[in-house]
Amino acid sequence: MAVLLTIGRVAKATGCTVQTIRYYEQIDLIPAPDRSVGNQRIYEPCHVDRLYFVKHARELGFSLAAIRELLSLSDDPNQSCAAADIIARDQLAQVERRITQLESLKTELERMIKQCSGGRIEDCRVIEVLGDHHQCLTNHKNAVG
Greater model confidence, 45 or 124: 45
Residues 2-38 as b/e (b if ≥16 CB within 10 A, e otherwise) read eeebebeebbeebebeeebbeebbeeebbeebeeeee
Four-way CATH pick for 7-74: 1.10.1660.10, 3.40.50.300, 3.40.50.2020, 3.30.479.20 = 1.10.1660.10
Q: Which amino acid is at 67?
A: I
Confidence of residue 126 (pLDDT cuts 50, 70, 90): confident
pLDDT at 116: 76
Q: Is residue 59 packed enough to be buried (19+ CB in 10 Å), middle (13-18) or exposed (0-12)? A: exposed
What integer pLDDT is reported at residue 141 of this predicted model? 59
Rounded to whole angstroms, how far apart are CA atoms 112 and 126? 5
Predicted structure pTM score: 0.77
Residue 130, pLDDT > 90, answer: no
pLDDT digits (tens, 9 = 90+) for 7-66: 999 999 999 999 999 999 999 999 999 998 888 899 999 999 999 999 999 999 999 999
In this structure, are residues 143 and 108 in contact, taking their beta carbons and an 8 Å threshold? no
What pLDDT, on a 0 to 100 scale, did the predictor assign at position 140? Answer: 57
Q: Which amino acid is at 7?
A: I
CA distance 105 to 137: 10
Q: Convert the pLDDT of each residue in 71-118 to its tens digit.
A: 999 999 899 999 999 999 999 999 999 999 999 989 988 888 887 777
